[in-house]
Amino acid sequence: MEFAYTEEQLMIQDVARRIAQEKIAPSAEHFDKVGEFPVENIRLLGENGLMGIETPEEYGGAGMDAQAYVLAMIEVAAGDAAHSTIMSVNNSLYTNGLLKFGTEAQKQKYVRPIAEGQAIGAFALTEPQSGSDATAMRCRAVKQADGSFVINGKKSWITSGPVAKYVVLFAMTEPGKGAKGITAFMVDTDKPGFGRGKTEPKLGIRASATCEIEFNDYVAQPDEVLGKEGEGFKIAMGVLDAGRIGIASQAIGIARAAYERTLEYVRERKAFGAPIGTFQMTQAKIADMKCKLEASLLLTLRAAWLKQQSKPFSSEAAIAKLTASEAAMWITHQAVQIHGGMGYSKEMPLERYFRDAKITEIYEGTSEIQRLVIARAETGLR
Ligand code: CAA
Ligand code: FAD
């Protein structure tokens, strides 16, 4: 594995850092407070190639590699976590399955507008009664004599659901067959039969819009099936492997922002006649924060490197996500503590980092599910 970044990787990192620091970070407090989708900032990310980083240029993307995606995600998440959630779904969960399993026509139709920042995509796997246990889904797609499917059911917690033009949907086509009975579909949210529920009020990443979506006799044509019938669960799991690299990157970005603020504070804030950074208890926290950040970054870059070498990376992505998300929770917790009362105040972003970090332990597979994936790979047992 190469430890130096390529020119291309540094370039996208620089673009992402500039937008994150100049546009996103200054508006983060506002969007967190009002809980609004940041339309203009997301458009700007799209115009600068940040909504299709790994998407080949022929489909409107930047044609870069997985490590470039990691670096850009870290920068945007350091500016604001919610923006990076929207970015991660467009770049990864929505696009990856289409690039791997989509027909040429599907790639042109569904990938290009998202990669170019003209539209927003979503990924719908979770249901009210099934999150971790994803094969227990009830959303039903019934095949008709003409080859089309009639879809009925609900999906919950759909990131960008309120604003998405297209959705990658997973529905049960053959109940009783478990994972092998699930098929992936491309849904156009402007078609009849598609509906949206209320936007979820959330603890953190409040500018990322999340809602339930509903299907009432929604008709999907045969050319709206993604991959083969019954292949949907494998598509979802493969896509989530890559998605977890993005969430690990998001966690690193949130944690880095909290760490950098903390470094400034321990130099400036005085107690007992000395900067609080001179106290050994504070120094130990700084050292542990730095170690967790570096370990998370290296594990995430390794998973990304395996992906770009087309080597298996499922367990490595889970290791990266688990490590980075738990590091982000720990680091943001300590950052609040080191800031004392100011850490608890909305006048500083520490409490927001702390709230935002929590989601990285929950979505795209909880920490328990990452441990399950890792332990199954290690032991060969189920
Ligand atoms: N890649 C390809 N195929 C895979 C796979 C992978 N990583 N993991 C499993 N599969 C295949 C298996 O090989 C198996 O197929 P065969 O029977 O042909 O071998 C099939 O899928 C079923 O696998 P399992 O028996 O392992 O399935 P399981 O029911 O035990 O579930 C699980 C495994 C890891 C717990 C899985 O259900 C899971 O990851 N759950 C978490 C769901 C999740 O992450 N949801 C995220 C929603 S999106 C989101 O959250 C977005 C956002 O926040 C922004
Ligand atoms: P459950 O699966 O009910 O789990 C409850 C608890 O039980 C958890 O602690 C879990 O770890 C534990 N648990 C479950 N099974 C096991 C086990 N086998 N061993 C040990 N512990 C276990 N989903 C989408 O499809 N698309 C999206 O865009 C999306 N965006 C989201 C955005 C937000 C803000 C949130 C909060 C969620 C989002 N989700 C999305 C859903 C998310 O992926 C699920 O919430 C997550 O996978 C957990 O599922 P659950 O909430 O149903 O919890």
Same domain, 177 and 202: yes
pLDDT at 1 over 80: no
Residues with Cβ within 8 Å of 80's Cβ and at least 6 positions away in sequence, in order, are: 20, 24, 25, 27, 28, 31, 32, 207
In short, whether 123's Cβ falls inside 6 Å of ligand 1 is yes
At residue 94, the pLDDT reads 98
Q: Does some domain include residue 267?
A: yes
* 238 and 373 belong to one structural domain: yes
Whether residue 241 is found in the same domain as residue 340: yes
Q: Report which protein residue has its CA nearest ligand 1's atom 49.
A: 364
Same domain, 267 and 164: no
Residue 22 annotated to the active site = no
Do 189 and 242 reside in the same domain of the chain? no
Q: With a cut of 80, say whether residue 380 has pLDDT above it.
A: yes
Q: What is the pLDDT of residues 107-156, one digit of tens each?
A: 999 999 999 999 999 999 999 999 999 999 999 999 999 999 999 999 99
Distance between CA atoms of residues 122 and 211, nearest Å: 11
Cα gap 243→259, rounded to integer Å: 24
Q: Is the pLDDT of residue 171 over 90?
A: yes
Q: Which atom number of ligand 2 is nearest to the Cα of residue 368?
A: 11
Selected catalytic residue, list 75, 231, 326, 364: 364
Write out the residue range of the structural domain in which residue 130 sits. Answer: 122-232
How many CB atoms lie under 10 A from the CB of residue 237? Answer: 15
Atom of ligand 2 nearest to the CA of 126: 25
Q: Note the pLDDT tens digit of each residue in 246-274.
A: 999 999 999 999 999 999 999 999 999 99
Does 49 fall in a domain?
yes
Q: If you average pLDDT over every residue of the chain, what do you get?
A: 98
Give percent of the chain above pLDDT 90: 99
The alpha carbon of 70 and the centre of ligand 1 are apart by a number of angstroms equal to 22
Q: CA 108, CA 99: separation in Å to the nearest integer?
A: 10
Distance of CA 77 to the CA centre of its chain: 10
- Predicted confidence (pLDDT) at residue 28 exceeds the cutoff of 90: yes
In a shared domain, residues 78 and 162: no
Same domain, 131 and 34: no
Ligand 1 pocket mutation, candidates 86, 123, 237, criterion most atoms within 8 A of CB: 237
Which residue of 133, 205, 240 sits with most ligand 1 atoms within 8 Å of its CB, as the best mutation to test the pocket? 240
Domain count, the chain: 3
ipTM for the predicted complex: 0.99
Identify the domain boundary among 64, 94, 120. 120
What percentage of the chain's residues is helix, strand, coil (to nearest 5)? Answer: 55, 15, 25
If asked whether residues 204 and 147 sit together in one domain, one would say yes
- The CATH number of residue 179's host domain is 2.40.110.10
CA-CA-CA-CA dihedral for 323, 122, 235, 297, to nearest 10: -20
Question: Does residue 1 sit within a domain?
Answer: no
Confidence of residue 182 (pLDDT cuts 50, 70, 90): very high
Note the pLDDT tens digit of each residue in 272-282: 999 999 999 99
Where residue 36 falls (left for φ over 0; alpha for ψ -120 to 50; beta otherwise) is beta
pTM above 0.95, yes or no: yes
Based on the fold, state whether residues 101 and 39 are members of the same structural domain: yes
**Would you place residue 366 in the very low, low, confident or very high pLDDT band (cuts 50, 70, 90)?**
very high
The answer to whether position 374 is within a domain reads yes
- Pair type for strands 182-188 and 194-199: unpaired
Place of tokens 């690990």: 248
Burial class of 124 by CB neighbour count within 10 A (0 to 12, 13 to 18, 19+)? buried
Verify that 278 and 375 share a domain, yes or no.
yes
Q: Which of 120, 147, 163 is the last residue of a domain?
A: 120
Domain presence at residue 184: yes
Q: Which of 132, 138, 211 for a ligand 2 pocket mutation test, highest count of atoms within 8 Å of Cβ?
A: 132
Instruction: Examine the domain organization and report whether 191 and 106 are in the same domain.
Output: no
The verdict on 208 and 266 lying in the same domain is no
Residue at a domain's end among 195, 210, 232 = 232
**CA 199 to CA 290: how far, in whole Å?**
36
Q: Which two tokens stand for residue 312?
A: 């298996």
Q: Is 363 in the pocket of ligand 2 (CB under 6 A)?
A: yes
Q: Determine the atom of ligand 2 nearest the C-alpha atom of 124.
A: 25
**Is the torsion defined by CA of 40, 170, 115, 255 positive or negative?**
positive
Mean pLDDT of 321-329: 99
Instruction: Please give the pLDDT value at position 368.
Output: 98
pLDDT grade for 302, boundaries at 50, 70 and 90: very high
Neighbouring CB atoms inside 10 A of 69's CB total 29
Work out the average pLDDT over 312-330.
99
Q: What is the identity of the amino acid at 274?
A: A
2 in a domain, yes or no? Answer: no
**CB-based contacts of 307, cutoff 8 Å, min separation 6:** 66, 241, 242, 245, 313, 317
Inside any domain, residue 282: yes
DSSP 264: H
Given this model, what pLDDT does residue 2 score? Answer: 75
CATH number at residue 245: 1.20.140.10
